[in-house]
Structure 1
């Protein structure tokens, strides 16, 4: 294969999800110095292929889907049927061991608490990884994966689909061209959670569905009895497995702030919540991040609102224009930029 083809493939990888909601590509082995493959198709395995993971696998259906893993045969039924030649597994550890020599990359669409252990095992086997957001369940896990990816020299990508769109780049141009002056405050928000939070753990013990391997679903998390209050969707609100509204949507809606302003780490954070809960994330929260001045930006405040809370309406916002259910606002000395969810449809205000 020519060098030009390899360069094109690298560009395709960096484009990420520009073409579709979650499409992605990973550099083939022969462009990274590996043996030439019999075709240009990547050999992919999927972990968590019902729900969101089904969309991720469908977006790479043009590649070679070698193996699929899901702990719930019923939820993954549609994906299994779409790829009848793919070998099926319930335990991703078994799949990665057995398919190690047959795959180039892994797509992870399982719940948050499984992201880090599944990605780490794949990386240590020198498999490229696409992992849905949020990347991990804890900050420590994210740091460990970052180090492992560097150590093993693999290509990685997180499912932050808006980052590959045109909206975030237009926002960047607005800010860097000085259209709103110096940005000193940023507000991001989401209508999430759209699942229960701030509730007590259920005490009844319904039977586990026949299609679900509950022990494998729990993975590295604490042992809990099965309950439909957790799966297939509402695990997002529970501390054991999810990251709440912020982990679900701030990764999208605050991403433009980090990308456009070059933000590093805050030096202090303040949290306002409706209450503290032992088992779940709060019903709503307002988080304030303070970023000290650097050579990239002045002292800056960033706020996050969820659970029905929203930032103050900018005085310059035209009558009849709503903030929307999700978005971000950059407040500058000379004006304001407002984006929708995933940095979509940025507009200058006024």
Structure 2
């Protein structure tokens, strides 16, 4: 049996050495190009705003060809964006038409995705390309796209586990936007499936906190003595947070398959408050601000310090009030994240975090600064991280300012203290796509693989459980069970719509 008779997916994962003698000339690319037979055939699942922001890198990568897109929404202009005309302008540049839909709102959907992919490839190759199919249901896509190698998951959080597990069950590699899942039980199933299948995986939060990796390496080296506290804060949420379930019943927009968007979540009437970029604020659909930003900033800290999953978590959130017949009352809310919240995490002895407290803040909340920083007139930036040890503290914000060491009554840029050691403390091992493509071809696992994100991902999910429980929770990472409080076990999972159980 020669290599030409191998299934194409096995061929892609094989060595590229000698490929020219094993593949017919008709399937070889031009000089310096990756032959079509060796490209990773990718399905892009989720065609919302962030999907389009990250699309060009996929389209430009010589080893990847997008052959399918998927989204329950066909084509609309009602998405939320961070700047007026941002997504339209981006798509206009991708398709070479600066006037594309200039009179409309923010676009998205599978047909927009298909149009962009086919137009970009046509312009790039100088000939028509019509090889991208569009699907509303990722399950249908996985069934029909038999020659598919991999998927990129860009859906709302509540669908991440369902898509990733289904893809790996069919032998596909998976790249995913954070988080891995917004339920602890689903997260653990994703991790188990990754280990069982050996799929090449990559979580896109990897590498974003390179500066924090350098700081954590310095902390581990003892620059502030024994570490006691880590404080991380974000200006999120930057999307609407709804304190009450919508009561009006707008019609489902044409071309939008609401039941497919709901996926595993329990049925409810359609409302735009749930969809298109605002999903993250709902417990059923999102993971809150920490799942949005904390995985970026804290994953390298967990990695460098060798932290295991948190075993104890506390959560506090703001509340809102309403009035009923001249009586004011607190809105009891177990369906959406608060406008601002704080988490405290503790770690098991011997896990790398013995005696360390990790604090998270969002919605404008910030930590109480150590006396030395407060006396120096320090005011925290909108987003940042603070490490407090017995011999000093390190403060960094996320606006590009270099981290500052506060020790022995002085303020010193951390880079000056460590010199070349600071530059060597962390290094970028390559682009997301290069790392993942190499793994898909049978090379070394990406350092951003799903299993590497286990500890920080479990910690993020535990924070939400504590917040919703209204009390301290204790967790056993080995079994995946809650040790306390009693009766909170249902927070580990979700109630599934029939047919969507994992």
- After superposition, residues 51-130 of structure 1 pair within 5 angstroms as 51-61=49-59, 62=61, 63-74=64-75, 75-76=108-109, 77-84=111-118, 85=130, 86-100=132-146, 102-130=147-175
Query: Is the 8 Å Cα contact of residues 292 and 300 (structure 1) preserved in structure 2?
Result: no
Q: Do the aligned partners of 1:186 and 1:257 also contact (CA within 8 Å) in 2?
A: no
Relative distance call for 1:71 and 1:198 in structure 2 (3 A) is closer
Q: Give 1:203-214 correspondences, 5 Å limit.
A: 203-214=247-258
Q: CA deviation at 1:58?
A: 2.6
Distance 1:28 1:282, change over 3 A: farther
**How much has 1:195 moved relative to structure 2?**
2.5
1:340 equivalent among 397, 413, 417: 397
> For residue 82 of structure 2, what is the aligned residue in structure 1?
none
**1:311-326 correspondence runs (5 A):** 311-317=367-373, 322-326=379-383
Deviations 1:174-203 (A, max 9, x none): 223322222111111111122233511111
Report the alpha carbon displacement of residue 346 of structure 1 after superposing the two structures with TM.
3.9
Q: How do 1:21-36 residues align onto structure 2 when only pairs under 5 Å count?
A: 28-31=12-15
Residue of structure 2 equivalent to 1:158: 203
Distance 2:160 2:392 in 1: 40
Please show how residues 263-278 of structure 1 align to structure 2 within 5 Å.
263-275=307-319, 277-278=333-334
Q: Distance in 2 between matches of 1:190 and 1:246?
A: 8
Change (3 A) 1:233 1:344: farther
- Residues 99-118 of structure 1 show CA distances to partners (whole Å, capped at 9, x for unaligned) of 13x22110000000110110
Residues 95/171 of structure 1: CA separation in 2 closer, same or farther (3 Å cut)? same
Contact 1:49 1:109 in 2 (8 A): yes
Structure 1 or 2, whichever has the larger Rg, is: 2
- 1:273-323 CA deviation, whole Å, 9 max, x = no partner? 224513211222111112243273441111111122111134444857542
In structure 2, relative to structure 1, the CA distance for the partners of 1:234 and 1:165 (3 Å cut) is closer
**Which residue number in structure 2 is paired with residue 41 of structure 1?**
39
Tell me if 1:293 matches 2:327.
no
In 2, the alpha carbon distance for the partners of 1:78 and 1:92 equals: 17
**Alpha carbons 2:225, 2:389 under 8 Å: kept:** yes
Name the count of aligned residue pairs.
321
Q: State the superposition RMSD in angstroms.
A: 2.7
Q: Pick which of 88-97 and 175-184 moved more.
A: 175-184
* Distance in 2 between residues matched to 1:268 and 1:47, nearest whole Å: 35
Shift of residue 57 of structure 1? 3.2
Give the whole-Å Cα distance in 2 for the aligned partners of 1:206 and 1:239: 22
1:174 paired to 2:158? no
Displacement of 1:257 after TM fit? 3.0
Secondary structure, in 3 states, of the residue corresponding to 2:14? helix
Q: 1:181-192, aligned counterparts within 5 Å?
A: 181-192=225-236
Q: Does 1:216 align with 2:290?
A: no
Change (3 A) 1:123 1:340: farther
The verdict on how the C-alpha distance between 1:56 and 1:283 changes in structure 2, with shifts beyond 3 A counting, is same
Aligned partner of 1:195 in structure 2 is 239
User: What SS does the corresponding residue of 2:233 show, helix, strand or coil?
Assistant: strand
Distance 2:44 2:168 in 1: 14
Which 10-residue stretch deviates more, 316-325 or 249-258? 316-325
Moved more, 37-46 or 124-133: 37-46
- Given the superposition, is the C-alpha separation of residues 116 and 31 from structure 1 closer, same or farther in structure 2, using an over 3 Å criterion? farther
Distance 1:175 1:342, change over 3 A: farther
Contact 1:191 1:306 in 2 (8 A): yes
Q: 2:335 aligns with which of 271, 279, 286?
A: 279
Unaligned runs of 5+ in 1: 1-26
d(CA) in 1 for partners of 2:178, 2:141: 22
Task: Give secondary structure in 2 for the equivalent of 1:145.
Answer: helix
TM-score, scaled to structure 1: 0.83
C-alpha separation in 1, matches of 2:396 and 2:373: 13
Deviations 1:68-109 (A, max 9, x none): 111112213543222123111111111111113x22110000
> Does residue 135 in structure 1 map to residue 180 in structure 2?
yes
